[in-house]
Structure 1
């Protein structure tokens, strides 16, 4: 496949193929221009509702669909399972304005098979100016496009960044498709009984969190989570976790004391870090600059926890794009703490867990369905 030029952008070989589904022609045009600004992305279909999307998908090669929620004829939630039935390998990003209702629908959509979500600015004018939205949309499309290609064994765009070289002293030599030049490297140190469980997740994270926390049961340790999400979503996610878990779940509040057997989720728009006050661990929320383009981010959470818990800290890095959690996990393991990563086969995107797994930071790399039982054995055993 030869490169081509769209507008002023020369497309790379094998650019990711995208379908945009939105009932507003103006919004479809804006989304198309944003996506087409990247040489690795090509919008090959732009349609006004879910019914047309289902019909077109059967006759076109599509890697990623950006799917609006509220549309006439057939809305996004109705179209979602039909699209996945037509083409199971396609990756779907739900797009909607950031309301509680749409956030609730997006969480339902992810449980039905959507890979990710993105909150749209409230107007076409705001969308045109929203640089964060543009960056997030393009990066999510490219990350999920890669997932679709790997699943179908198709070539990636010709100018994709080459992965870094693996570290030495490998223990488990398991090549991975999203990190083709890397291998999983496992740590041999024994895991101490943890005093706190910390979890980092992003793309595909809600379902992974439901799987892990829904099967963990009641533990005496606090559980703290950073999931990449905007504010309305994190509040709803905490509510959903409470429904599936045997422990209460809520967004963390500034100045709040951590309690054992409780789950605390970083609020959207805030980094959640921790400090010691007397014998208590206190939540501190801040709006320091984003890290890894994220706020909340996993790295600052892990750095602060490592100072408090040292070798008594257990970290889970679940599915997600990018590498947030890598630097924080380096600090955790240097202090004697332990890291477990979700494996590639059960991750929506093996970016975050893949980064720590191939950097030699993990004690184990396991399927999401095995994580809860593994963690439960560690947290319930007698103190080391």
Structure 2
């Protein structure tokens, strides 16, 4: 994810949270507490190890805990279940440096009940000087606020969109077209909104400039190079969420599906594993492609975990690798994963090191658009819990191509951002609790419902 400028870091959030900071470093505790308070949150406790946090959590009553993994006396993985037992409903974000051992421990924490993870620089100086770490911290806090506050759009709050927009501008990316299947072009412009044209001619957000200008999901496509002038939907104040049931999209084709594409973010590692495990032997008959919003190192470990859970070969995708049934391909952190034709009827994986899409890299939309272009009505797409709206435009393309779109419901999602965005747009064929999604997927894979 791109960095945010300092001017946006101290903006007051619309949804203040009660937060506990647990880290053995006095420098990191102090910096993190200051950043959170500058953003309008209330830091109810700072603790130098897990034991102190366990002793204080019932009294402090935090809504969110930032929990370091490596601490003396009691580390994060030991403290986690004790914290959850003493304060049911609290959202725990594990914080660790980007090492393989810490990635393993972080994923273990997610299986034990943590809702998200945050990668931090290895040195204290790195933490104090990294606007990326500060930016990512604030974005995660804003996304999790939807778990605890009513009246907030989980897909994108004003603070999230402002920080992200500033971050994209700060990255200073120049115009860079990237070739993609189906004669599509992804373009990022300095100082102007970037958009990518999907198979239907629709546009999805690539990277807005400072100030939040960008292309909304409903923007009407124009000539090549044309930039819509309408204000983007994510820059407007969120309306109160509708309690009306979302409209389901009619199924356009009864064609059996022969490729499964999955997108997820916050809360996704546990949900993806549960969903795929539920599919059982059917996984052996089709390729499975997973985009989970994760940093590098974490995605390789995540793939190993999926392999252990499902009993299938699972690994980070390799550019040019032939697509094969019975294998799970995970988009590597920091690179987009797509598909391309590989001569004749062969299909190969395509890795893209371009700019973020929907503020994400890897992005679900990149994979979904490619899947719609190449497989059409034979695609089954599944979107699980996650922050933001990544996957919405790709889901539209898959539906228009005759493929199927299943999304997780709000009650079982950690954050109903990604699946909620698709559901609210009327693009989902089914909206289901996590426990029922594998059963529904099996019906689509057999070509009957």
Partner of 2:360: 294
Task: Choose 332-341 or 354-363, whichever is displaced more.
Answer: 332-341
Choose from 392, 400, 423 the match for 1:334: 400
Q: Structure 1 residues 17 and 337 mapped into 2: Cα distance closer, same or farther (>3 Å)?
A: same
Deviations 1:193-245 (A, max 9, x none): 11211000011111111111112123311110100111211111111111111
Which of 341, 349, 367 is residue 415 of structure 2 equivalent to?
349
Q: CA deviation at 1:335?
A: 2.1
Match of 1:124 in 2: 124
State which of 247, 250, 254 in structure 2 corresponds to 1:188. 250
Aligned structure 1 segments of 4 or more residues deviating by more than 3 angstroms: 8-14, 177-183
Residue 13 (structure 1) shift:
7.3
- Secondary structure of 2:442's counterpart equals helix
Partner of 2:54: 54
2:322, 2:347 within 8 Å by CA — same for their partners in 1? Answer: yes
8 Å contact kept, 2:96–2:120: yes
Query: Offset of 1:378 from its aligned partner?
Result: 1.7
Classify the secondary structure of the residue corresponding to 1:186.
coil
> Which residue of the partner structure matches residue 199 of structure 1?
262
Say yes or no: does 1:147 pair with 2:147: yes
Partner of 1:3: none
Q: Write the distance in 2 (CA, Å) between the matches of 1:297 and 1:12.
A: 26
| Number of the residue aligned with 1:266 | 331
Query: Shift of residue 381 of structure 1?
Result: 4.1
Aligned partner of 2:443 in structure 1 is 377
Partner SS state of residue 394, structure 2 = helix
Q: SS in structure 1 opposite 2:410?
A: coil
Change (3 A) 1:178 1:304: farther
Distance in 1 between the 2:374 and 2:319 partners? 17
Pick closer, same or farther for the CA change 1:303–1:178 going to 2, 3 Å: farther
Conservation of the 8 A alpha-carbon contact between 2:15 and 2:145: no
Out of 298, 319, 341, the residue aligned to residue 233 of structure 1 is 298
1:89–1:148 CA contact under 8 A, matched in 2: no
TM-score with structure 1 length normalisation? 0.87
**Which structure 2 residues correspond to residues 266-285 of structure 1 after superposition, within 5 A?**
266-278=331-343, 279-285=345-351
TM-score normalised over the length of structure 2: 0.75
Q: Give the CA deviation at 1:161.
A: 4.7
1:94 and 1:86 map into 2 onto residues whose CA distance is: 17
C-alpha distance in structure 2 between counterparts of 1:45 and 1:142, whole Å: 19
Partner of 1:4: none
Q: Distance in 2 between matches of 1:321 and 1:280?
A: 34
Corresponding position of 2:313: 248
- Residue 12 of structure 1 and its aligned partner are, at CA, apart by 6.1
Listed one character per residue, the Cα deviations across residues 152-206 of structure 1 (whole Å, up to 9, x for unaligned) are: xxx879xx659xxxx9xxxxxxxxx994466412012255311211000011111
Pair 135,292 (structure 1): closer, same or farther in 2 beyond 3 Å: farther
- Cα–Cα, structure 1 residues 34 and 291, in superposed 2: closer, same or farther, change >3 Å? farther
Compared with structure 1, are the counterparts of its residues 44 and 290 closer, same or farther at alpha carbon in structure 2 (3 Å cutoff)? same
Q: Provide closer, same or farther for how the CA distance between residues 16 and 80 of structure 1 changes in structure 2, counting only shifts above 3 A.
A: same
Question: Do structure 1's residue 314 and structure 2's residue 347 form an aligned pair?
Answer: no
**Residues 13 and 244 of structure 1: CA distance in aligned 2, closer, same or farther (over 3 Å):** closer
Query: Does residue 367 of the first structure (1) align with residue 368 of the second (2)?
Result: no
Instruction: Kindly report which structure 2 residues correspond to 1:35-184, keeping only aligned pairs within 5 A, or say none.
Output: 35-39=36-40, 41-149=41-149, 161=158, 179-180=241-242, 183-184=245-246
Match of 1:215 in 2: 278
Q: CA offset at residue 334 of structure 1?
A: 2.2
d(CA) in 2 for partners of 1:274, 1:35 = 40
Q: Is the 8 A contact 2:15 2:142 kept in 1?
A: no
| Cα separation, partners in 2 of 1:52 and 1:223, compared to 1, 3 Å | same
Confirm whether residue 31 of structure 1 aligns to residue 61 of structure 2. no
**Structure 2 CA distance for aligned equivalents of residues 355 and 28 of structure 1:** 35
Q: How many residues align?
A: 357
SS in 2 for 1:134: helix
8 Å contact 1:90–1:148 — kept in the other structure? no
CA contact (8 A) 1:238 1:249 kept: yes
